[in-house]
Amino acid sequence: MSEPSHGVTLAAIQAARRRLEGQVARTPLVRSEALSRRFDADILLKLETCQPTGAFKLRGATNMIAALIERHGREALAAGVVTASTGNHGRAVAHAAARLGIPAVVCLSRLVPADKAEAVAALGAEVRRVGESQDAAFAEVERLVRERGMVLIPPFDDPLIAAGQGTIGLELLEDAPDLDRVLAGLSGGGLLGGIGAALKALRPEVTVTGVSLSRGAAMAESLAAGHPLAVEEETSLGDSLGGGIGLDNRCTFALVREVMDEHYRVSEAAIAAAMVDFLEHEKRLVEGAAAVGLAALAEHGIAVRGQTVALILSGNAVSLETFDRARALAGC
């Protein structure tokens, strides 16, 4: 059997898991009693908020850097690594690079909240604010790769990144072998695509549900069009789900199209209500992008009765100011 064009195979995900052992957390999968009663289902929360950097992105970034060293030697990264990010991936690259003593530059658009930029800088990376979109930040990345010989660690569009995120899927099935459905945020496609690749290889009957923002959802618009599109970003509580997928996308567009079974878009009000719900009933402060699974269940009335359902709580990078905005929008 030939390897898929996107390159994210079960073998690649299993290799990622070996590289990540001892480098990232094997995060808990916990049952929410309140949500299980509310939806008459077994609702499980995958707590990627427990990663050292507070988000799932550490898996992909660490896997890629480790794989490059494994294949080409540490000297291949002597000029340092560079990326563009909406925040969490930048923290992941900064964390992984610092542990290995490798210089790192993280390019952020001006739409990325200040608290996320400060968190990246605190890990030792150089932060560059560039333009009003992810595409503008990527232009600066390309310049640094071209002029300084830095190595790009992309936020999502690479088989090594998606395979690292796919290790979440392996853990889900180990902890919940009867899993019926998983809901994950959909942006660039590394998270949902990687998880979906693992699940479809090992338990193909699991329903893989992607959740996007109601506005500025580049992957959703691209899938509807049948090819990658440039979509204008908009400010959102779920800002980690913003950004384009790249007109020359070579991995995640095909991957998501292959593994995703259904897709929902959620409003700002639904995201706000879910963020508040997680704090009030689960005592978990999560960012908007981490709350979209619950937002989709509530806003769209997805039929999950009697099912075992996993919600991916992807990150906790939310300021109190942003959370107060969510509370106000939710009417609290």
Q: Are 132 and 159 in contact (CB under 8 A)?
A: no
Q: Which of 57, 187, 222, 240 is catalytic?
A: 57
Report the Cα 85 to chain-centroid distance in Å.
11
Residue 165 tokens, joined: 């995120």
Q: Does residue 57 carry a catalytic annotation? A: yes
* Residue 139 vs residues 42, 103, 128, 142, 225: alpha-carbon distances, Å: 44, 19, 12, 5, 25
Q: Are 197 and 166 in contact (CB under 8 A)?
A: yes
Sheet holding 42-47, edge to edge: 29-31, 42-47, 308-313, 181-185, 207-213, 262-266
d(CA 118, CA 321): 15
Q: Does residue 116 carry a catalytic annotation? A: no
Give the residue numbers annotated as catalytic, written as ranges.
57, 314
